[in-house]
Copies of this chain bind each other. A is one copy, B any other.
Amino acid sequence: MFCFGVKLIAMPVNIPESGQPRVVIIGAGFAGLKLAQKLYKHNFQIILIDRNNYHQFQPLFYQVATAGLEPSSISFPLRKVFQKVKNVYIRIAEVEKIQVDKKHIETSLGTVRYDYLVIATGATTNFFGMDSFEQNSIPMKSVPEALYLRNTLLENFEKAVTLSDEEEKRRLLNIVVVGGGPTGVEVCGALAEMRKFVLPKDYPELDFKHMSVTLVEANEHLLHGMSKEAGEKAFQYLSNLNVDVKLQHKVTHYDGREVGLEDRENFETSTLIWAAGVKGQMPGGIDASHIVRGNRIRVDTINRVEGLDGVFAIGDIAYMETADYPHGHPQVAQVALQMANNLARNLMRMREKKELEAFEYRDKGSMATVGRNRAVVDLPFLKFAGFPAWMVWMFVHLMSIVGVKNRLVIFINWLWNYMTYDQSLRLILRPSAKK
């Protein structure tokens, strides 16, 4: 132990060997966090690695971006989840490379040995190779990105009041959202509500009649992946809120001022929000032979990466074909949670040399909210929309949030915003400018 070389391997990033099988989990999203929660009481040593010290509740990013919720309300410190737990080691680090032959991973903090490695790195924004969008549009796949979007929107309004050039002003006020999935629909609804109820009061100097919110979607209906009825209802609700929904429109380029459209006339905007797609967030060291469409890792029905001993992938990064899902599972929270549950059970069965159980997804339905009191809900045997759907949406999201206080604070925020038609979180909070 006093030999430097030995120490590096034996105590990487200062984690002692406990004799328990060591499960290294990369990523503390829905999948990674759930797996750690399921396993830690069953005599495993858990090492949970994330680049942030908090779990993020992705379904509500759009409310952070539109100043409806604080980042802290939808983020939960990982250490609080595992308070007083001695066999969970949380490490805030970047994973640099997985070395499957040596059964260890290289991180920004040093090398970590594993018995079982679970890749739960999730998905990130997919620009489909279109550089002009990657450079000039704003994605919304993390809390900092959502905050960046909020700051940008507010700064654009602040800038607009100082301008006398009407064209330039309008370009600052117009917002284009690309991608008509739940994120795109929800952010458009929230922006349209802001334009209607909040912005004219905040900026009496500006005329918001000229501000446009435009949703561009390549498909022929919104909410692809949900029912056609849901997509049509969402279209109707957004139209009622004066969102300009452009179906079957394809964007081609964006230079920060002008969006190009295939076969249509271009139009001008300073703010383009990109919600058009995701791709797997691939850690280094995974051989290309395991990677399939959408930058995901192919796994068998036990979530094993075939041919790699002790390596698993769960959640958005995992691509699993089954009879019911021959093209892989949807990249949603429910799949991530259910894969984590199943893998936790299988890891215990492996230790006990019991037979493993194949993953089977139980679709509990999907939903999206539009504006302040409308939503669409697809349950397996029932589809509905409107105010009742919005109540269901609220309840399900509140109950899914980690932390009782978060629930309470979000509930008060929602109630407040609902009663007053107004949020009070319109702060341009800049990073600590220390030195």
Interface residues in A, total, Cβ within 8 A: 63
A-B contact pairs, 14 of them (CB 8 A): A13-B162, A14-B161, A52-B430, A70-B72, A71-B429, A72-B424, A72-B427, A79-B202, A83-B201, A86-B205, A135-B435, A144-B432, A147-B432, A408-B416
* Residues of chain B lying within 8 A (CB to CB) of residue A91: 161-162
Q: Is the CB of A427 within 8 A of B162?
A: no
A426 vs B135: C-alpha distance in the bound complex, in angstroms?
Answer: 32
Q: Please list the residues of chain A having a beta carbon within 8 angstroms of any beta carbon in chain B.
A: 11, 13-14, 52-54, 70-72, 75-77, 79-80, 83-86, 89, 91-92, 109-110, 135, 138-139, 143-145, 147-148, 151, 154, 158, 161-164, 201-205, 403, 405-406, 408-409, 412, 416, 422, 424-435
A67 to chain B: closest residue by CB: B77
Q: Is the CB of A432 within 8 A of B85?
A: no
- Shortest C-beta distance, A251 to chain B (Å), equals 19
User: Which of B70, B77, B147 is in CB contact (< 8 Å) with A426?
Assistant: B77
- Having A77-B426, A147-B429, one finds 13 other A-B pairs with CB under 8 Å, namely A14-B164, A14-B205, A53-B158, A53-B427, A71-B429, A80-B202, A85-B204, A89-B161, A92-B158, A143-B429, A144-B430, A144-B433, A147-B432
Q: Is the CB of B151 within 8 A of A426?
A: no
User: Which of B84, B154, B163 is in CB contact (< 8 Å) with A14?
Assistant: B163
A7 to chain B: closest residue by CB: B164
* Residues of chain B lying within 8 A (CB to CB) of residue A422: 80
A145 vs B161: C-alpha distance in the bound complex, in angstroms?
Answer: 28
A428 vs B72: C-alpha distance in the bound complex, in angstroms?
Answer: 10
Q: Is the CB of B424 within 8 A of A405?
A: yes
* Residues of chain B lying within 8 A (CB to CB) of residue A79: 202-203, 426
Q: Is the CB of A405 within 8 A of B416?
A: yes
A204 vs B80: C-alpha distance in the bound complex, in angstroms?
Answer: 11
Q: Is the CB of B427 within 8 A of A204?
A: no
- Shortest C-beta distance, A90 to chain B (Å), equals 8
- Shortest C-beta distance, A230 to chain B (Å), equals 31
User: Which of B154, B205, B409, B432 is in CB contact (< 8 Å) with A89?
Assistant: B205
A138 vs B79: C-alpha distance in the bound complex, in angstroms?
Answer: 25
Given contacts A148-B432, A204-B85, contact A109 B75 (CB under 8 A): no
Q: Is the CB of A77 within 8 A of B427?
A: yes
User: Which of B110, B412, B429 is in CB contact (< 8 Å) with A408?
Assistant: B412
